Homo-oligomer: A and B are copies of this chain.
Amino acid sequence: MDNWDEIRTAYQVARLGTVSGAAEVLGVHHATVIRHIDALEKRMGVKLFQRHTRGYTATEAGQDLLRVAQATDDQFSQLSARIKGRGNEVSGELVVTTIGGLSQLLVPILAGFQAEYPDVQLRYLTSMRLFRLEYGEAHVAIRAGSPPQQPDNVVQPFLTLRSAIYGSKDYVERHGMPKIPERMAGHRFVGLDDVNSRAPWAQWMRETVPAHQVVFRSGDTRAVRQAVLSGVGMGFLGTYECTQDNNLVEVHPPLPEWESRLWLVTHMDLHRTTKVQAFLRYLKDHTEHLREEVE
């Protein structure tokens, strides 16, 4: 049973009763239809049709085939409709993967997107390992650093996150405003646990801040932020999450070399789909205010 096209041909013959009619429906020559039937019957070893000059009538086996193939035809029609329609509707899973620490920025936007497109099931993955777009593990990835240059990936600039050194109001009142980088003696810092961190300001910190002054380290940016807020020490925080916080004081303004550039990455094939396009548009529309600050 290893030729589904012949089954399809036999199905039309069984349905219509004539080779000519089946040929017309199938858009092939009636000779082809006869050859398909002959081949199928030869391989099955059973006659599917009674041949006579007024057409073909299905035998019991042919009628059995008719029933099965009828169901198959329906199934395929529905499948086709689903698949063709799927490209134009915003529904199903939408997998977004990103580096940790952007949750505070992204989750509200994702929530808004989901509210606008209720048929979407969002999956927001922030894992250590890089999810690979090539395997279809994610629809959209948000990457940091230099622009990714994988083939088959569509890369667009997303945001440039600026970082500055912040301290809690309480800390500044107690220790005074340090002059950075000239007079930092006696000051305490909060930093990243990962000594090989690829955060853009990490190198500046390694070079400028003596290790013994970094009294709190964590890999979780939310923990870092909490530590700064608690007055443990000064630390790098994204401006987007600090400007409206009255408990934080900008100890040193953002520097260009501390900027972290974010990229929106999608797989070439998925990039064209309505679903991904809708998501990218929503993302851009709702980060407009952040983008203006940067330029």
Given contacts A60-B86, A64-B86, 7 further A-B contacts (CB under 8 A): A1-B77, A1-B79, A3-B5, A4-B5, A4-B76, A7-B76, A64-B83
Partner of A1, one of B76, B152, B269: B76
Query: Is A174 close to B, CB under 8 A?
Result: no
* In the bound complex, CA of A47 to CA of B5 (Å): 22
Residues of B within 8 A of A4 (CB): 4-5, 7-8, 72, 76
- Contact among B68, B76, B83 for A61, CB-based, below 8 A: B83
Mark out the residues of chain A between 261 and 295 whose CB falls within 8 Å of any chain B CB in the assembled complex. Answer: 267, 269-270
Bound complex: CA A263 to CA B277 (Å) = 76
Query: At the interface, yes or no: A2 with Cβ under 8 Å from chain B?
Result: yes
Residue A65 is within 8 A (CB to CB) of chain B in the complex: yes
* A93 in contact (CB, < 8 A): yes
CB <8 Å contact, B269 and A50:
yes
Query: Are the C-beta atoms of B1 and A50 separated by less than 8 Å?
Result: no
Q: Is the CB of A82 within 8 A of B64?
A: yes
CA gap between A58 and B86 in the complex, in Å: 14
- A136 adjacent to B50 (CB under 8 Å): yes
Query: Which B residues are CB-close (under 8 A) to A50?
Result: 134-136, 267, 269
List, in ascending order, chain B residues with CB within 8 A of A58's CB: 136
Q: Which residue of B has the minimal Cβ distance to A25?
A: B2
Give residues of chain A (79-125) contacting chain B, Cβ–Cβ below 8 Å. 79-80, 82-84, 86-87, 92-93
Contact-residue bracket for chain A: 35 or more
For A2, the chain B residues whose CB sits under 8 A away are: 26-27
B136/A59 in contact, CB under 8 A = yes
Residues A36-90 near B (CB distance < 8 A): 44-48, 50-52, 57-61, 64-65, 68, 71-72, 75-80, 82-84, 86-87
Contact of A44 among B3, B72, B80, B93 (CB under 8 A): B80
* In the complex, chain B residues whose CB is within 8 Å of the CB of A71: 75
Partner of A79, one of B27, B65, B76, B79: B65
Pair B136/A1 contact, Cβ less than 8 Å: no
With beta carbons under 8 angstroms apart, the residue of B46, B57, B83 that contacts A65 is B83
Bound CA–CA A61/B93 (angstroms): 12
Asked if A44 meets B84 with Cβ closer than 8 Å, knowing A3-B5, A52-B134, the reply is yes
**A79 CA to B65 CA, complexed, in Å:** 7
Do B46 and A83 touch across chains, with their CB atoms under 8 A apart? yes
Q: 23 A–B contact pairs at CB < 8 A? A: A1-B76, A1-B80, A4-B5, A4-B8, A4-B76, A44-B80, A44-B83, A45-B84, A45-B87, A46-B87, A47-B270, A48-B83, A50-B135, A52-B135, A57-B135, A59-B136, A64-B83, A64-B86, A68-B75, A68-B76, A68-B79, A71-B75, A72-B72
